Amino acid sequence: MTLPMTVMDEGLPTRIRIHEVGARDGLQNEATIVPTEIKAEFIHRLAAAGLTTIEATSFVHPKWVPQLADAERLFPMVRDLESVRLPVLVPNDRGLDRALALGVRQVAVFASATESFAKANLNRSLDESLAMFEPVVERARAERLHVRGYLSMCFGDPWEGPVPVDQVARIVRRLVDMGCDEVSLGDTIGVATPGHVQSLLATLIEEGVHVSKVGVHFHDTYGQALANTLAALQLGVTTVDASAGGLGGCPFAKSATGNLATEDLLWMLQGLGIDTGVDLGLLTATSVWMAEQLGRPSPSRTVSALSHKEP
């Protein structure tokens, strides 16, 4: 298999944790509902490729996201995977109850930096949605679960346009103060550019949010996800969300396309000599297999290049 030459950059972290979101962010956005057995096999194959944080599903209202309505059936099919963290999304107490009943150990609440998306995604105002998360985070921590706080629309919003950095920083602070162990900065519609990313991260660092608590979650609508990731690594971020094969999107934000493809990220990290423990060949084979299940090719450039048969 072709691999990039390794040329290290001393200014970058030496190890990155990939938070794989293909099974959740990817499959929540598919027009067709993927059979539960295929989802379970997908997660097993992601784990076999070396991914150690694999977001499995969401315990949201099944009418809101029918694609993930099988969470109760899926989670027991994957929960015994060794040395793999399997976070799930929980919006409210009901979601947390469902997750706890199945032995989930990592959960994520998902807030919005804008009023419009809070309403579209959670049927609540921004403050009401944070109030909904508070008891969830408190109870999850009391149960010693790891809690991630997603924050969507950190760079731009389809209804409100560009989102001021200070507005985002204020809500990141509220999620951290609420007790979230980490906050993932979502570029839900993929409009961020590297300077904007560094400006937000610099503001957060200035305001005392430690960079080890921050993850980045870039959708690739305008082809900026990898450049934005590198910009984040330059400021010390070591948690990067990505989606095998570039699956993804958000059913409640029309302009959201797939996430940064995990394979594209791995190609860059491999070239920079940054360790992830993930096998690019096995992961590419998984994305090719998943693309066959979905009936269309993966949008990942790396998957496409590596799976192209030599004449």
Site string for Mg ion, 143-182 (x = CB under 5 A): ----------------------------------------
Under the binding rule (CB under 5 A), the answer on residue 55 touching Mg ion is no
Under the binding rule (CB under 5 A), the answer on residue 25 touching Mg ion is yes
Contact 147, 137 (CB under 8 A): yes
Residues that bind Mg ion (rule: CB under 5 A) add up to a total of: 1
Under the binding rule (CB under 6 A), the answer on residue 267 touching ligand HMG is no
Residue recorded with tokens 């360790």: 275
Annotation says 180 is catalytic = no
- In total, the chain counts a number of residues equal to 311
CB 68 → ligand HMG: shortest distance, Å?
A: 7
3-state secondary structure the chain: CCCCCCCCCCCCCCECEEEECHHHHHHHHCCCCCCHHHHHHHHHHHHHCCCCEECCEECCCCCCCHHHCCHHHHHHHHCCCCCCECCEECCCHHHHHHHHHCCCCEEEEEEECCHHHHHHHHCCCHHHHHHHHHHHHHHHHHCCCEEEEEEECCCEECCCEECCHHHHHHHHHHHHHHCCCEEEEEECCCCCCHHHHHHHHHHHHHCCCCHHHEEEEEECCCCCHHHHHHHHHHCCCCEEEEEHHHCCCCCCCCCCCCECEHHHHHHHHHHCCCECCCCHHHHHHHHHHHHHHHCCCCCCHHHHHHHCCCC
Cβ proximity to ligand HMG: between 152 and 284 the closer is 152
Under the binding rule (CB under 6 A), the answer on residue 221 touching ligand HMG is no
CB 188 → ligand HMG: shortest distance, Å?
A: 3
Residue 190 binding partner per list ligand HMG, Mg ion, none, with a CB distance cut-off of 5 to 8 Å that depends on partner kind:
none
Cβ proximity to ligand HMG: between 9 and 134 the closer is 134
Residue 64 binding partner per list ligand HMG, Mg ion, none, with a CB distance cut-off of 5 to 8 Å that depends on partner kind:
ligand HMG
Under the binding rule (CB under 6 A), the answer on residue 250 touching ligand HMG is yes
CB 51 → ligand HMG: shortest distance, Å?
A: 17
As a whole number of angstroms, the distance between CA 171 and CA 178 comes to: 10
Q: Considering only 36-44, 91-99, 195-203, 273-281, which stretch makes contact with ligand HMG by CB under 6 A?
A: 91-99
Q: Tell which positions 10-29 bind ligand HMG, by CB under 6 A.
A: 25, 28
Q: Are strands 146-152 and 182-187 parallel, antiparallel or unpaired?
A: parallel
Please, which residues have CB within 8 angstroms of residue 19's CB and are 6 or more apart in sequence?
53, 55, 87, 184, 215, 217, 239, 240, 241, 242
Cβ proximity to ligand HMG: between 68 and 274 the closer is 68
Out of 42, 75, 133, 252, the residue judged to bind ligand HMG by CB under 6 A:
252
Cβ proximity to ligand HMG: between 60 and 137 the closer is 60
Residue 239 binding partner per list Mg ion, ligand HMG, none, with a CB distance cut-off of 5 to 8 Å that depends on partner kind:
none
Under the binding rule (CB under 5 A), the answer on residue 263 touching Mg ion is no
Under the binding rule (CB under 6 A), the answer on residue 59 touching ligand HMG is yes
> Which residue in the list 104, 250, 278, 303 is annotated as catalytic?
250
Catalytic residue IDs: 250
Q: Which residues bind ligand HMG (CB under 6 A)?
A: 25, 28, 58-61, 64-65, 89, 91-92, 94-95, 98, 110, 121-123, 150, 152, 186, 188, 217, 219, 250, 252
